[in-house]
Amino acid sequence: MNAWLEVDISAIRRNVAAVRSLVGSRVQVMAIVKADGYGHGAVRAARAALTGGASSLGVANAAEGAELRAAGIDAPILVLGCGLPEQMPEVVARGLMQTLATEGVARALSQAATAARCEAGVHIKVDTGMGRLGVRPHEALAFARLVSNLPGLRIEGVFSHLATADHDDVTYAREQAARFEEVLTNFERAGVRTPLRHLANSAATIRFPEMRLDMVRTGLLTYGLNPLSSPLTEIELVTALTWKSRIACIKEVDAGERLGYAGLHVTERPTRIACVPVGYADGYPRALSNAGWVLVGGQRCAVVGAICMDQMLVDVGGVAAQPGDEVVLIGEQMGRRITANDLADAQGTVVHEVVARLGHRPPRIYLNEEPSPEATQ
């Protein structure tokens, strides 16, 4: 294998259990397994999260939910995306819960559920300031009444999403929470029943205990990734993912040599350059050209030159490295660590993007995995 991912399933179980302990027995945990389980593998991540105590799962679209159902997972699954009217028969057929934010999708889901002679569970999405999916707060009550009157639909929850839960300034997050609370009050006064009220993502789960409500939706925390810019003290997480490769070859180069596409790096001294068979097609961001680091022999070694589609160059001049030696792109080696957060910071993005962009080319090796229930039957 040129490169591979090692996913510690026990870490996912432990992380969800830690979230459960943090929020208490009265608050449910929805584990977010969209984008192939944040690059960890959706089916296995979902099973581990449920074993760890998650009560439900969150996906982006009906196709992701269908994958979990096909694997035999029968837990409640919420499609977080609004979806399209033509996708509603699939939602019903797979027994998924659907986020509703438009009348068109609500009516299409009602028609699909009625045709199938069943009820479809729905969660109403309120846009309290994110600007994406969701009905406006002043429209929420009328929309909830419309949904309540449509045959075949059962309101199981209402939620919103915070735009700045991970920012130092908490003002806007609290404003969003206040808008959501007003919507909930209006629902209660009007007798609109919404069994599950949820607002908190991973960052808010840590920072704002008052926003946990009936359920929290945890993506990053599920995989042991820090949603904040400061170290976590409220919860102990275990990173689930390690990304490894091996050195393909090493060349001796002189000072002044140009390396890679566009000669993006010029060596300042005689050194040794290793070629590592990992590139942006594997999910290693091209934005880390001349800016990334990997671990070789327990030492941080600089990525030099442009990241290629299938390869990268690493300066190993200070390490007694040889072809075939292990390279760690994310993870620990001899007591040193490079985290997904480190890669995100180096390219000015969020950690979600780093793991979500991990494609299917690097194979996943699953560690500490319990046999699935269907495998033992």
Q: Catalytic pick from 38, 125, 223, 261?
A: 261
pTM: 0.94
CATH class held by domain 9-223: alpha beta
- Start-end ranges of CATH 3.20.20.10 in the chain? 9-223
Catalytic residue among 34, 223, 244, 280: 34
What CATH number matches the domain at 241-338, 3.40.50.300, 3.90.245.10, 2.102.10.10, 2.40.37.10? 2.40.37.10
Output the pLDDT for position 375.
37
**Residue 34 known to be catalytic:** yes
Q: Beta 271-276 vs 312-315: how paired, if at all?
A: antiparallel
Q: Which amino acid is at 273?
A: I
H helical segments located in 120-265: 137-149, 171-190, 202-207
**At residue 335, what is the residue type?**
G
For residues 15 and 292, give the distance between their C-alpha atoms in angstroms, rounded to a whole number: 28
Q: Are 310 and 302 in contact (CB under 8 A)?
A: no
pLDDT in tens, 241-293: 999 999 999 999 999 999 999 999 999 999 999 999 999 999 999 999 999 99
290 by Cβ neighbours in 10 Å (0-12 / 13-18 / 19+) ranks as middle
194-238: per-residue pLDDT in tens? 999 999 999 999 999 999 999 999 999 999 999 998 999 999 999
Cβ atoms 313, 327 nearer than 8 A: no
CATH 2.40.37.10 residue window(s) in the chain: 241-338
Q: Is 261 a catalytic residue?
A: yes
126: helix, strand or coil: strand
DSSP bridge partners of 249: 275
306-320 pLDDT tens trace:
999 999 999 999 999
- CA separation for the pair 259, 307 (Å, rounded): 11
| 83 has pLDDT over 60 | yes
